[in-house]
Structure 1
Amino acid sequence: MRLVLASNNAKKLAELQALFAALPLEIVAQGSLGVPEAEEPHATFLENALAKARHAARLAGGAAIADDSGLCVDALGGAPGVVSAHFAALALPAGEREAQRRVQDEANNALLLQRLQGHADRRARFVSTLVALRSADDPEPLVAVGRWPGVILAQRSGSGGFGYDPLMFIPALGRSVAELDAATKNAHSHRALAAAQMLNLMRDAWHLG
C-alpha cells in the first residue's frame, strides 16, 4: 500500500519509513508526486495535520499521512504551539535553507527565554500529532498523539539536535534533548510515541501487518 507523506522533509520521511517498517507500506514524499505544500492556517496541531493529510490524499489520489508538531509551554498558555518553527517573526533574506533555519532557531530560543523570565513554572512538552487517511474523504481519520514532557532550561545545554532541543530538559533522561544521541532521541521522542500508536491503529483499522 502506498502512503503519501504530506511533507518534503527528507529526515521526517526516513524516520517514518523506519518506524513503519513492520507494515506493508511504501511511504513516499508528496513532492515526488508533484504535490505542493498545503496551507496550515489552523490553531491546533490536529486541524493542521488533518488539512495537510487531506490535501496530499486528494492530489495524490490515495492514502496519506501528515504530522504537525511543536513545543507547548504551560506558563505561556501552550505557546509557541503551531507556530513553534516561526515563533520569532523574522524576515530572512533568501539564502541557504539550513543557514536560515539556524538563524530562526536561535531567535526562537531567545524569544522563549525572554517570555519565560519571571515564571517559576517551566513545564513544557513536545507534541506530535499524526493523521492518516485512506482517501481525502475518509470518514474515519486515524489520529495519534505523542507527548514528550520536560522542563525549559534557563540557558541552552548541548549542541545536538535543532529547534528548541538545547532548552528542553527531559527529567526522565537527566539531559537536554540536545545532549541525547540520535538513537535515544528517536526512541523516546514525541514523534516516535505518536508513530507507535499509529502503527497499532493501522493494524487494527486498516488490517495491515
Structure 2
Amino acid sequence: MSGEGPVPQAIRKLAPGKLVIASHNPGKVREIAELLGPYGIEPVSAGALDLPEPEETGTTFVANAELKARQAADLSGLPALADDSGLCVEALGGEPGIFSARWGGESKDFDLAMRLVEERLAALGPDVSRDAHFVCALALAWPDGHVEWFEGRVDGTLVWPPRGKLGFGYDPMFVANGMDQSFGEIDPQEKHAISHRADAFRQLVAAVL
C-alpha cells in the first residue's frame, strides 16, 4: 500500500490481551484506547513501558506507522499498534503531511503549528482554497515480524481562529465536510464516528478483531 516494505501477508487475527500503543502522545493513546476498549484489548502505551521514540524516517504515513509498530513489538515482546497521522492542506501541496507534529517544533506545540499553517495560507491570498484532509495510517505488528496496515481519511476545510478545546493537534481548525463544528468542538464520541482514525479503525476491527 505504501510502496515501502513487503506486501501484506494474509490477515492475522489479534487475540484479546495486552497491546502496546506505540505512541508518546497522550491524546492519541487515549483516543486509541477508547476505540479498542470494546474488544477485550488491554492497551498499554509505549511511554508507560519506557520505550524510546524511533526516528520517523519513512516517506509515507504507512511507512512511519510500520517502523514505530515494529520497534515497539520487538522491544516489548507484545503485539504493537502504531498510528501515523497528519493534516494535508491542498493549497500547501499536502503539507504539513507526515511532518504535522514537527511543525510544532521540539515541544510539539500545536498552537504554533496551527499558526504556521494559517500564515502559509494567508500568504497565498484571500481566495486560497482552505480544503484539507486528515490521514491516519495504522500498522499492527507482532514480535515475529508480521505486520498489517490500514489507512483512513476524512475531508474538510480549515477555519481561523481555532475553535474548541476538545480533541488534540490540529483538531480546533478542522471542520469535517457536512459539519458546522470543528473537531475541537464536537464530543469525542461524535468524532470517533467520523474521523480519519475511526475510518482506519473500522478497517482494522473488520480485519483482525
Deviates more, 1:175-184 or 1:47-56: 175-184
Per-residue Cα deviation, 1:55-114 (whole angstroms, up to 9, x for no partner): 0011112311100111011121210011112225x47xxxxxxxx55xx22221222112
10-19 or 55-64, larger mean C-alpha shift: 10-19
- Gaps (5+ residues) in structure 1? 92-99, 204-209
TM-score by length of 1: 0.80
Does the 8 Å CA contact 2:88/2:132 hold for their aligned counterparts? yes
C-alpha distance after superposition, 1:146-195 (max 9, x if no partner): 21110122x21422233322321223112222222222223222112211
Greater helix fraction, Structure 1 or Structure 2: 1
Separation (CA, whole Å) in 1 of partners of 2:75 and 2:100:
27
Counterpart amino acid of 1:160? K
For normalisation by structure 2, the TM-score amounts to 0.80
Q: 1:159 aligns with which of 136, 161, 164?
A: 164
* Percent of aligned pairs with the same amino acid: 38
Q: RMSD over aligned Cα, in angstroms?
A: 2.1
**Structure 1 34/70 Cα, relative in aligned 2: closer, same or farther at 3 Å?**
same
Aligned partner (choices 168, 177, 197) of residue 174 of structure 2: 168
Structure 1 residues 122, 3: CA separation in 2 closer, same or farther (over 3 Å shift)?
Answer: same
SS of the residue corresponding to residue 38 of structure 2 reads coil
**Partner Cα separation in structure 1 for residue 20 and residue 131 of structure 2:** 35
Q: Number of residue pairs matched?
A: 189
Which amino acid is the alignment partner of residue 47 of structure 1? A
2:60 maps to which residue?
A: 44
C-alpha distance in structure 1 between counterparts of 2:138 and 2:110, whole Å: 23
Report the equivalent of 1:4: 20
